[in-house]
Structure 1
Amino acid sequence: MITVPGGHVVLSDRRTERSWTVEVAPYLLATCPLTRADYAQVTGTQPDGGQDGGRLPAHSVSWWDAVRYCNALSRQEGLTPAYHPPRTTDTADGGDGGDGEEGHITWDRDADGYRLPTEAEWEHACRAGTTGPRYGPLDDIAWHRGNSGERIHEVGGRRPNPWGLYDMLGNVWEWCWDVYDPEVYGSYRVLRGGGWFDEHWSCRASVRRRSHPTLRIEDVGLRLARCLRP
């Protein structure tokens, strides 16, 4: 993980034609999307039922899978889990219990454990001080529909952004913590970054996508974040 400096980012939504500015404090962010090998090391399995993959991104991961993984890794490393499940009891193996349909999960912002980045943190990190739609020529920095051969690729295979972060665009979409628009879409969560099957216009720093937190699909994964403590 690297330390991402603080700053501010202007988020925008094409559907509602609105924009808003968010101040971002320094935080830690993984240099690459979570790999299948790392996912299996913590959970003992893959979300899509496969057994191999190594440095391929962990994909077919729902938002709830991602939250559970963050808490499991935090416990494994002796850190305080960032997320509190909606149910009052956990499963016997220390998991979070349930699929979240019974209530709303909460984020303990004082916890030192692993978590998903916020949408503002994600875009701030993706841009890495740049101001254009991308931090470099698309074919150099991202696996997308035009160069991926319509398949997923190992993490870190394209050029990183100026802060040393790989695959911020392309390869797999990445879950963020935020709810997309609760008044219109309920519990749908934000996805960012574009994927290996997306056209070039979806692989831009500002593009927002939404999906139900139970969605599992082969071009969606996650990237780990942590709060930065003194």
Structure 2
Amino acid sequence: MRTGADSAMVPVPAGSVVLRDRRSRRSWAVGVAAHQMSAHPVTQAQYAQVTGERPSTARGDRLPVEGVSWWDAVRFCQALSQQEQLVPAYRLDPDGEGIEWDASADGYRLPTEAEWEHACRAGTGAARYGELDDVAWYRGNSEGRLHSVGGKQPNAWGLFDMLGNVWEWCWDVYDAEVYGTYRVLRGGGWFDEHWSCRASVRRRSHPTFRIDDVGFRVARSVSQ
């Protein structure tokens, strides 16, 4: 991703992860292929460079973009892929309401929640990849506001802000039978208590929802 300084894509090795849903008490194992993930959430400067828009409530080039819906994040991925002459990962219906993921495409996309959790854990089985105050901005240390990306310690694979700062949209539908089109959010945010900032915590929201503690990061598939 070449949309500004410190915007490298980080290689994430193949592996597997067990996802758990506290509400339904289900757990299920998912294999994860090798892929790339952005080192930190998309910043306001990056979002503006690609889309020409600055939707965030707080303002700062190095702050994570927030106030973006799942659909906004998808459109960013499409625009960035086209900007870098990559094959877009998504096929959108003309009405803008339907979407398909082309798994063979080399363009930018949202991570699946299995990819996200696998990347967050970075080869460990722990709920966090370090002491919370060292790796995340959350209610206990954020002073009630967003912080610039990369200000806390990364995990072992070089990924920053996987926990805290902003929740991150993932590709997956949360539970279609119960919540319809609601999509998965991961990671916890600057306003959350410590228990929300764990690798396994799942949140859900409507794909049109926008709020000041939700952002996203991008991923890319790699050739096998």
Bin for the TM-score computed over the shorter chain:
over 0.9
CA contact (8 A) 2:56 2:65 kept: no
Aligned to 1:78: 85
**Cα distance, 1:121 vs structure 2:** 0.1
Correspondence 1:120-135 to 2 at 5 A: 120-135=114-129
Cα distance in 2 between the residues matched to 1:132 and 1:110 = 32
Q: Which runs of 5+ in 2 are unaligned?
A: 1-8
Out of 210, 215, 218, the position equivalent to 2:212 is 218
Aligned to 1:67: 74
Aligned to 1:27: 35
**Cα distance, 1:86 vs structure 2:** 2.2
Letter in 1 for 2:171: W
Aligned to 2:4: none
What is the number of residues matched between the two proteins?
A: 216
**Cα distance, 1:48 vs structure 2:** 3.6
Out of 101, 105, 108, the position equivalent to 1:111 is 105
- Percent identity over the alignment? 69
Stretch of structure 1 that moved more, 133-142 or 52-61:
52-61
Cα distance in 2 between the residues matched to 1:168 and 1:49 = 21
**Cα distance, 1:66 vs structure 2:** 0.2
Cα distance in 1 between the residues matched to 2:57 and 2:21 = 35
Cα distance in 1 between the residues matched to 2:10 and 2:29 = 24
Stretch of structure 1 that moved more, 196-205 or 77-86:
77-86
Aligned to 1:150: 144
Letter in 2 for 1:55: R
SS state at 2:169 partner: strand
Aligned to 2:46: 38
Cα distance in 1 between the residues matched to 2:56 and 2:141 = 24
**Cα distance, 1:132 vs structure 2:** 1.4
Superposed CA offset, 1:41-90 (max 9, x none): 0111112477x511100111100000000000000000011111122xxx
Aligned-pair RMSD on alpha carbons?
Answer: 1.1
Aligned to 1:191: 185
TM-score, length basis structure 1: 0.92
Cα distance in 1 between the residues matched to 2:219 and 2:116 = 9
Aligned to 1:17: 25
Aligned to 1:3: 11
Superposed CA offset, 1:153-196 (max 9, x none): 00000011111100000000000000000000000000000000
**Cα distance, 1:200 vs structure 2:** 0.2
Residues 1:56 and 2:56 aligned together: no
SS state at 2:17 partner: strand
Q: Which runs of 5+ in 1 are unaligned?
A: 88-96
Superposed CA offset, 1:112-171 (max 9, x none): 000000000000000001111111100000000000001000000001111110000000
Out of 124, 128, 131, the position equivalent to 1:137 is 131
CA contact (8 A) 2:41 2:149 kept: yes
Aligned to 1:204: 198
TM-score, length basis structure 2: 0.94
